[in-house]
Amino acid sequence: MEFTLDATCGNARATTIKTYHSTIKTPVFMPVGTAASVKALDTRDLIDLLDTHIILANTYHLYLRPGDEIVKEFGGLHGFTKYNRSFLTDSGGFQAFSLSDISKANDEGIEFQSHIDGSRHFFTPQKVLDIQYNLGSDIMMILDDLIALPATKERLKLSVVRTTKWAKASITYHKKMQERGIGRTQNIFAIIQGGVDPAFRRQSAQELTALDFDGFAIGGLSVGEESQAMYDTVAWTTQFMPANKPRYLMGVGTPEDIVEAIDRGIDMFDCVMPTRNARNGTIFTTFGRLNIKAARFKKDHRPIDENCSCYTCQNYSRGYLNHLFRAKELTYYRLASIHNLHYYLQLTKDAREAIIQGDYATFKKDFYARRSQ
Amino acid sequence: MEFTLDATCGNARATTIKTYHSTIKTPVFMPVGTAASVKALDTRDLIDLLDTHIILANTYHLYLRPGDEIVKEFGGLHGFTKYNRSFLTDSGGFQAFSLSDISKANDEGIEFQSHIDGSRHFFTPQKVLDIQYNLGSDIMMILDDLIALPATKERLKLSVVRTTKWAKASITYHKKMQERGIGRTQNIFAIIQGGVDPAFRRQSAQELTALDFDGFAIGGLSVGEESQAMYDTVAWTTQFMPANKPRYLMGVGTPEDIVEAIDRGIDMFDCVMPTRNARNGTIFTTFGRLNIKAARFKKDHRPIDENCSCYTCQNYSRGYLNHLFRAKELTYYRLASIHNLHYYLQLTKDAREAIIQGDYATFKKDFYARRSQ
């Protein structure tokens, strides 16, 4: 991975990340393609209509179905999906923790039952990398010890200690595997834990950034805490993260969250919000959210957002989308997902431009001003 | 509507139909866009990826939701969907008959309850044309008296008599409306009834073709009767249909049915089979049907059909589609629907070529030979 810091504006950064498969300009939003498919879209949509340069896929889901060995058969995620740009895969720990009825972490890893067939599995730091070698992702996330918030001080401490222990095991294993010729074009990111506790966040950040990872993520946020607590934790944590490596805020978030986190030094984001909300009828625009189901859109000839250049806004009216949503037409899901993803991608693109122009403050002010009209 | 008989080969015909919105080369298969959307596809898919020149929409569904008045607000179906080629709309009678819990026909029309909200409605020959004027379709179907098969001789007779009565009312009303400037670019087709009874079919065909319709359909088939009975009824009925007007076999059918019906003089087809079967995992190919869910496709790198030039086959493997289907990914529905529709469209295109070349018999022989390999 090549990393360039292109510009800064306050704590906000514009960077360029070059993986084996693509060049990624940050800040960047990564659409979530859980089961090797961004829901309702196909690969050509992601390239031709949205010009994404990196998407996310979920290790837990692909390990269970179709199985990482099968994905490997096709030449990894790139060959399987025909998406020839970059993939980031998570470790699977979060889903093992959140989707499984029975999930137990110990010092060695996380035991869980498949949400599909109830079969039992055990994720260790090494195991989740083995899976990701098969998936062939450009950026692999290591196993971290997740906890539900609020947590006791003891559990929080254990999470930080265990996450560091697993990070060491991960980097050692990855170096060894790369020496054997496995995962040579794949990069590895560690995940800083510590809840909203400044001391634990600092400890986790310092311990992990001392290790030779290609980038660092902030995990364990956007799990129900107040927005301000999240913003403060991000601002606090980024100061302990190296300037010469990518910074990724996992699972975040609303457009407001993204604008605020960029201001606090984050480069990379992923979230199911644009696609999931699209399917539920919530559409993002420069002037705020709208519910496409609303009766007032029935006769509305205008596109969702008259300033939007997305495929959906260039072709279809609010009235038609309102009808498709009400009639539960499958077509709706794709058109709404394209619009919402375009909105998120454009937001981070515009943020980058503002950073390069050296006026992120005005960008942020305009962002809020348009939404309050 | 301009109609040209381009070539014949036995009873098979290649024709050209020019509507206000497009030029349609027949034999033609019309994808079904029930609620102003071909399920899982958008308008650009229908034009750019499938190059369809006519699609079908259902009057019953659009009358109930969003309402034909709303579609009219957008400039009819063309403005609403942005599909700027031809639409054929059915009369709504079939759905009033089949989707409603309570549906009663009398000499004036069909009374039914909405399957959406239980509201009561009454379709008359005039009413279904009024709805279709609002929809702005290029070809409107008139109300016919449908019956469930098997039916008594008395009921069958009543159906034929009533269908003729309604046809007369329809043509009278349409001429009057056109004089008033309504529906001037819209064409009107009558529907021949009579079950599988030769005498009733002849009577219905003779009575209807004596009226000044733009084209004629054969209705009331593909409702559970034996294939051979359908083929025989089509062969029998087409001899009473004028050579200088389009012939449409409603709701048919399998690829085999289409090949056989073309051989018996049919020009136009519609059926939900390609899209519905796609969603259920049944894929049509030149070598027969395949179930994409089958375990043997899990590691299959090949496209669905190596000879297929469709978007899906050009981009994706059986293995990836197998995975998307099993994971119930929305993306699957669009990709499979594109392939199946492409198959049907290509089949009728190839049939046309064979008719023009004057060797439909060889085309038919090859069609069956490939499927039995």
- pLDDT of A3-59, one tens digit each? 999 999 999 999 999 999 999 999 999 999 999 999 999 999 999 999 999 999 999
User: B99 or A8, which is more confident?
Assistant: A8
Q: Model confidence at B290, in pLDDT bands (50, 70, 90)?
A: very high
CA A113 to chain B, closest CA, distance in angstroms equals: 18
pLDDT at A98: 85
Least CB-CB distance to A330: which of B61, B73, B330? B330
What residues make up the domain containing A303?
A: 275-372
Contact (CB<8Å) A37/B331: yes
Give CA–CA dist A47/A82, Å, rounded. Answer: 10
Question: Percentage of chain A surpassing pLDDT 70?
Answer: 100
Residue A164 has pLDDT above 80, yes or no: yes
Note the pLDDT tens digit of each residue in A129-153: 999 999 999 999 999 998 887 889 9
Residues B246 and B131 both lie in one domain:
yes
Inter-chain CB proximity B315 and A70 less than 8 Å: no
DSSP category for residue B47: I
Q: Which residue of B has its CA nearest to A322?
A: B66
**Is the pLDDT at B373 greater than 80, yes or no?**
no
> For residue A81, which residues of chain B lie inside 8 Å, CB to CB?
320
Number of domains in chain B: 2
Phi first, then psi, for residue A118 (nearest 5°) are 80, 0
- Residue A12 half-sphere exposure toward CB, CA atoms < 13 A: 26
Which chain A positions have a beta carbon within 8 Å of B36's beta carbon? 320, 323
Closest CA to A55 of A82, A25, A83: A83
Residue type at position B235? A
Please say if the pLDDT value at position A331 is more than 80.
yes
Annotated ligand binding at B224? The verdict is no
Mean pLDDT of A169-188: 98
Does A66 sit within 8 Å of B36, measured CB to CB? Answer: no
B322-369 pLDDT tens trace:
999 999 999 999 999 999 999 999 999 999 999 999 999 999 999 999
Check residue B258 and give its pLDDT: 98
The verdict on A95 and A234 lying in the same domain is yes
Q: What is the CA radius of gyration of chain A?
A: 20
pLDDT of residue B33: 98
Interface probe for B, chosen from A135, A331, A332, A333 (most Cβ of B below 10 Å), is A331
Listed in sequence order, the residues at least 6 apart from A266 whose beta carbon sits closer than 8 Å to its beta carbon are A27, A218, A234, A238, A247, A248, A249
Same domain, A173 and A319: no
A367 pLDDT more than 80:
yes
Q: Is the pLDDT of residue A101 over 80?
A: no
CB contact under 8 A, A70 and B36: no
Tokens standing for residue B54: 């006519």
- Indicate yes or no: pTM above 0.90: yes
Q: What is the pLDDT of residue A113?
A: 92
Q: Please say which residue of B270, B295, B319 terminates a domain.
A: B270
The mean per-residue pLDDT over the stretch A321-349 comes to 98
List CB contacts (< 8 A) between B66 and chain A: 298, 319, 322-323, 326-327
User: Which of A298, A320, A333 is closest, CB to CB, to B330?
Assistant: A333
Looking at the complex, report in whole angstroms how far the Cα of residue A320 sits from the nearest Cα belonging to chain B: 6
- Contact list in B for residue A43 (CB cut-off 8 A) is 315-316
Give residue ranges of B with CB < 8 Å to any A CB. 35-44, 61, 65-66, 70, 73-74, 80-82, 298-299, 301, 311, 315-317, 319-320, 322-324, 326-327, 329-331, 333-335
Per-residue pLDDT, B103: 87
pLDDT at B34: 97
**Beta-ladder partners of B268:** B28, B248
List CB contacts (< 8 A) between B65 and chain A.
323, 326-327
Average pLDDT over residues A57-71: 97
Nearest chain A residue to B319, by CA: A80
The reported pLDDT for the residue numbered A143 is: 97
| pLDDT digits 0-9 by tens, B43-69 | 999 999 999 999 999 999 999 999 999
Q: Smallest Cβ distance to B329: which of A35, A320, A327?
A: A35
Q: Are residues B113 and B173 in the same domain?
A: yes
Residue B339 annotated as binding?
Answer: yes
Quick one: pLDDT band at residue B286, thresholds 50, 70, 90? very high
**Spatial CA neighbour of B205 closest among B188, B214, B220, B218:** B218
What is the structure's pLDDT at A223? 85
Give the Å distances, CA to CA, from A246 to A15, A165, A219, A360, B73: 8, 22, 14, 19, 51
Q: Which residues of A touch B324 (CB under 8 A)?
A: 35, 37
State the pLDDT at residue B150. Answer: 83
Domain boundary among B270, B305, B326: B270
Tell me the C-alpha distance between B127 and B170, whole Å. Answer: 10
Is A319 known as a binding-site position?
no
Mutate to test the interface with B, among A37, A72, A276, A293 (most CBs of B within 10 A): A37
Average pLDDT, whole number, for chain B? 96
Contacts of A74 in chain B (CB under 8 A): 299, 301, 317, 319-320
Cα dist from A58 to B1, B283, B320, whole Å: 54, 28, 16
Rounded Cα gap, residues B40 and A331, in angstroms: 4
DSSP state of B32: B
Q: Which of B41, B61, B69, B330 to probe by mutation at the A interface, max A CB count within 10 Å?
A: B330
- Secondary structure E strands in A41-82: 54-57
Does ipTM surpass 0.85 in this model?
yes
- In the predicted model, what is the mean pLDDT of chain A? 96
Write down the pLDDT at residue B224: 85
Mean pLDDT of the region A195-209:
97
For residue B187, the cross-strand partners are: B139
Q: What share of chain B is helix, strand, coil (3-state, %, to 5)?
A: 45, 20, 35
Task: Indicate the Cα dihedral angle B163, B164, B165, B166, nearest 10°.
Answer: 50
**If you average pLDDT over residues B121-150, what whole number do you get?**
95
Q: Are B250 and B315 part of one and the same domain?
A: no
pLDDT, greater one: A21 or B148: A21
Question: Is there a contact between A334 and B334 if contact means CB atoms under 8 Å apart?
Answer: yes
- Predicted local distance difference test score (pLDDT) of residue B158: 96
Q: What is the pLDDT of residues B350-362, one digit of tens each?
A: 999 999 999 999 9
Strand ranges (DSSP E) for A115-226? 120-123, 139-141, 187-192, 215-218
CB spacing of A323 vs B42 below 8 angstroms: no
Residues B219, B307, single domain; the answer is no
| CATH number of domain containing B181 | 3.20.20.105
In terms of domains, do A145 and A280 share one?
no
Pair A131, A187 in one domain = yes
pLDDT of residue A304: 98
The nearest alpha carbon in chain B to A80 belongs to B320
The beta-carbon neighbor of B331 closest among A42, A301, A324 is: A42
Residues A221 and A297 in one domain: no
Interface size between A and B, measured as CB pairs under 8 A? 119
| Token couple for A339 | 């619009």
Closest alpha carbon within chain A to B66: A323
Annotated binding residue at A219?
A: no
Do A249 and A317 lie in one domain? The reply is no
B316 Rama class: left (phi>0) / alpha (psi -120 to 50) / beta: beta
Q: For residues B293 and B326, is the Cβ–Cβ distance under 8 A?
A: yes
Nearest chain B Cα distance for residue A41, angstroms: 5
Helix (H, G, I), strand (E, B) or coil at A23: strand
Residue A147 has what pLDDT? 87
Pick the last residue of a domain from A270, A290, A313: A270
Same domain, A112 and A238: yes
Q: Are residues B163 and B309 in the same domain?
A: no
Tens of pLDDT, residue by residue over A231-262, are: 999 999 999 999 999 999 999 999 999 999 99
Within 8 A of B38 by CB-CB distance, chain A residues are 331
Tell me what pLDDT residue A100 has: 75
Check A68, A90, A145, A305 and give the catalytic one: A90
